[in-house]
Chains A and B, each alone.
Chain A
């Protein structure tokens, strides 16, 4: 037996796994329609490639990844695209987001797949591309695009690939039954992933409450170097950071990724998906989901097509709506409630939990924190939840950060044990949101400040340049004046005053030009020329107006012609006078 480590804290909620893990994985009849959100993963939403009215086949690519951290989406059944619009999605906030809705034609005709038997001979880049284009995202919960995690980084040598088969959340058994039934695929998937990561050692961590799964995996891994490690059941051992600590004794430094310490973690379901994508060419259009809770007649695991409304899922299992207290996507510790049963199953939906009221009663009224410290004893991140609660109430974000609120993994262990039934995690989420917002605002204001400063600098520079030009012009003007003074031998004191005052200089300049008869004459001649042109134009227009019997226009033009004629005679007079002098 290899050494395993313990994590701080942790709790032992009732496991409630027996309800669903005793039956083989069922297969769901196809739903009438599926609703496929464009964003079922962490990262940028996919970009739709189909239009409303298009006919699509099962497994056909219908939306492509947009950017590096993103994943494509494939049609999960054949039929017609009836809408690309905002629809309810499984999300804690109950929000809507863009989805591609496909109405089933009942045929389930597949596109042509490209299976590959000798996949282990393929180059790593090709394998990676296959994983990427299959739209695989972490099936364990967060839904991080798998290909991104498997992308080798020259700077970071990955020495350990961990497959997470912990499934520490109560009620959920999707991974458990998958490990029992498809252990070989998991092992093959693990080897594939290891190939992409330049062959690190492979560890598969499973809690010791799943003996069948451990046995199946051990059998499947017999002639390989893969280690199956079981460890005592405790929530939340399956948290990424917690599992790493249990299996390797290492801690992921705050604010960094496991790859920083040479570790990549993948869910066992993800390994199966990767294997199927490469060997059979099947993109991610289906997953195993636990359907459980006392308001159902049948509780089990099923293979379900992505996009299937949970309404369809529940109705196939004898759902009694009136007996249902809440609908939880995920497990009782970290899952979130949804209020619409039309939300679809997506890549990350590992469980739909519909407990009855006595199974999960409405929480009792919150009582004051008595600082009993049970929460601190339960916290796997070794935080002081009672202090975080205190500062969350006070909205003291600085203290919250000093107490490392951002390292809270929102596992809910603290709320679980709190005798005063304080919804601690709810407070932390709100505070985290506020802190993130603050940081964004700060970044924004920092950027705005930088922009403002740059702007100011530019303006100042421009001012300085203008000033320099002005000075240069002034100097030039003076020199010009001096020259004139010299040539015309004007009195010296005039130039002295001009030197002191730019306005005076300008006036002097104006006076000088006026005094120049040649310039004056040219100017009058120019004016006369344009006045004559104007008169010709007006006359022309008057003619037109007369021809069209447009009296109103003609009436307007006549005074203008008069005016112009006056101006012309005036200018001619001036010119005549000039000629005389």
Chain B
């Protein structure tokens, strides 16, 4: 009779990596719903394509790396990357753009660095930035919100959207500037004038038609994940806090030099998606809670700086990648104080 020899602990909590990933997928639903309501099925198509390509690439690379594809595919991490990329890309993106983005994310950013757990950069953001630099035109055409009354048309019917995705014509008739772009290109108008004149603002409650709800959707998903303790609050809260603080400091009473209100910054662009779904990617972030506060806080500042003074209207991807670079240094200086030691230590020195 032989009994199992195993090392303690013998009990294990029910949480598994696959389960964590599934929760993340589930949590994207409110935001995705808002995207679909306001911008049509473009994001759904993006995500579907991205998922297919992600699974194909993942399986192929695992095969090349002689890993058991079934075991590794089950952790769902490739799907999470695909969904996040699909959400970040403009709706109705051409299929090859999606494919290239997934290629950069899965093959280059993830597997060339050693696979899940070893990638220093957030794969979805690497894919996004690679696309943004290579195809600036395709990457900056956002569909117009369907409810915008004076838009030339609401979002394209299904057949037309598919033709657009699989052929090469542009989405011309259906695009509109995003609130961040409108703010950036307003040429000295005060915020008040802007909010009364621009349809995207005057038909909205806080920060632009559609966008505010998309952000609220992701916020809800994020709160769900916090409640499920998938990640700690430190990075997202720090990022939102510094972003709020910066926009408050540069609000300038809404004058012609104003950089936008705190509420505007919190609810436009990829703020909430970035805060709760991108920045919280554990692999490429700082490890300790203190480190994550710094990590998120600095990301918020970078986002604000690029939004206001940079050439790109939004900056989540750049901010996250920059902070990925900084993560090892942050870790280095934020090792927590161990029980029974007087001070936090520097990990370079061995204390006798």
Binding site for B on A (CB under 8 A): 8, 11, 13-14, 92, 94, 170, 241, 245, 251-256, 321, 324-328, 330, 332-339, 341, 353, 355, 360, 362-365, 367-374, 376-377, 380-384, 386-387, 398-399, 401-404, 407, 410, 412-413, 415-417, 419-421, 423, 425-426, 429
Contacts and interface: CB of A to CB of B under 8 A. Distances in A.
Interface string B1-33: 111111111111101110110000000000000
B17 A362 contact: no
Contacts of A402: 345-351
A404 B337 CA distance: 10
Given A370-B17, A377-B289, A380-B339, 9 more contacts: A254-B341, A333-B8, A339-B3, A363-B12, A376-B287, A376-B336, A382-B336, A398-B350, A407-B341
Contacts of A386: 287
Given A368-B118, A373-B287, A416-B11, A337 B3 contact: yes
Contacts of B15: 374, 417, 419
Interface of B: 1-13, 15-17, 19-20, 71-72, 75, 77, 115-118, 229-232, 282-283, 285, 287-289, 292, 331, 335-342, 345-351
B340 A419 contact: no
Among A255, A367, A380, A423, residue most surrounded by chain B Cβ atoms (within 10 Å)? A367
Contacts of A420: 16-17, 117
B7 A327 contact: no
Contacts of B2: 339
Contact of A423 (B7, B17, B336): B7
Nearest to A403: B347
Given A326-B4, A365-B71, A402-B349, A425 B336 contact: no
A369 B117 contact: yes
A373 B118 contact: no
27 contacts: A13-B11, A251-B340, A254-B338, A254-B341, A332-B11, A333-B8, A333-B9, A333-B11, A335-B8, A337-B6, A337-B10, A355-B10, A360-B10, A360-B11, A367-B116, A370-B17, A371-B282, A373-B231, A377-B289, A384-B336, A387-B287, A399-B347, A402-B350, A402-B351, A403-B347, A420-B117, A426-B7
Among B1, B15, B118, B340, residue most surrounded by chain A Cβ atoms (within 10 Å)? B340
Nearest to B349: A402
B9 A332 contact: yes
Contacts of B19: 419
A368 B117 contact: yes
Contact of A370 (B229, B283, B338, B349): B283
Contacts of A410: 8
Contact of B350 (A241, A355, A377, A401): A401
B29 to A, nearest CB: 21
A363 B345 CA distance: 35
A551 to B, nearest CB: 77
Contacts of A404: 338, 341, 345
A170 B11 contact: yes
A383 B340 CA distance: 11
A313 to B, nearest CB: 15
Nearest to A14: B11
Contacts of B13: 11, 13, 416-417
A492 B221 CA distance: 115
Nearest to A336: B8
Contacts of A372: 20, 230-231, 282
A577 B5 CA distance: 98
Nearest to A324: B3
B99 to A, nearest CB: 26
A324 B345 CA distance: 46
Contact of B282 (A13, A245, A373): A373
A581 B288 CA distance: 109
A413 B11 CA distance: 10
A367 B338 CA distance: 27
A310 B347 CA distance: 46
Contacts of B336: 376, 382-384
Contact of B20 (A8, A14, A333, A419): A419
A383 B338 contact: yes
B117 A362 contact: no
Contacts of B17: 367, 370, 419-420
Contacts of B230: 372
A383 B8 CA distance: 18
B58 to A, nearest CB: 13
Contacts of B232: 373, 377
Contact of B115 (A92, A255, A335, A368): A368
A174 to B, nearest CB: 18
B337 A382 contact: yes
Among B342, B349, B350, residue most surrounded by chain A Cβ atoms (within 10 Å)? B350
A407 B12 contact: no
Among B72, B230, B287, residue most surrounded by chain A Cβ atoms (within 10 Å)? B287
Contacts of B340: 241, 251-256, 381, 407
Contacts of A11: 13
Contacts of B289: 373, 376-377
Nearest to A253: B340
A360 B7 CA distance: 13
Contacts of A369: 117
A421 B116 contact: no
A365 B72 CA distance: 10
Contacts of A399: 347
Among B229, B341, B345, residue most surrounded by chain A Cβ atoms (within 10 Å)? B341
A364 B6 CA distance: 12
A322 to B, nearest CB: 9
Contacts of A370: 17, 20, 77, 116-117, 282-283
Nearest to B7: A426
B341 A339 contact: no
A415 B282 contact: no
Contacts of A381: 338-340
Chain A to chain B: the 5 pairs with minimum beta-carbon distance, closest first:
A412-B9, A368-B117, A254-B340, A426-B7, A332-B11
Given A370-B283, A374-B15, A382-B339, A425 B9 contact: yes
A415 B339 contact: no
A8 B288 CA distance: 13
A305 to B, nearest CB: 24
A332 B13 CA distance: 12
A196 to B, nearest CB: 26
Given A368-B117, A370-B17, A421-B12, A325 B4 contact: yes
A353 B12 CA distance: 16
B12 A337 contact: no
B6 A382 contact: no
Nearest to B336: A382
A9 to B, nearest CB: 10
A402 B9 CA distance: 25
A337 B4 contact: yes
Nearest to A383: B338
Nearest to B115: A368
B232 to A, nearest CB: 7
Contacts of B351: 402
A546 to B, nearest CB: 81
Contacts of A256: 340
A383 B348 CA distance: 16
Among B1, B12, B337, B339, residue most surrounded by chain A Cβ atoms (within 10 Å)? B339
Nearest to A325: B4
Contacts of A382: 336-339
Contacts of A368: 115-118
Contacts of A330: 8
B285 to A, nearest CB: 8
B1 A321 contact: yes
A407 B338 contact: yes
Contacts of A407: 338-341
Among A14, A254, A353, A429, residue most surrounded by chain B Cβ atoms (within 10 Å)? A254
A277 B116 CA distance: 58
A364 B16 contact: yes
A384 B11 contact: no
A117 B347 CA distance: 58
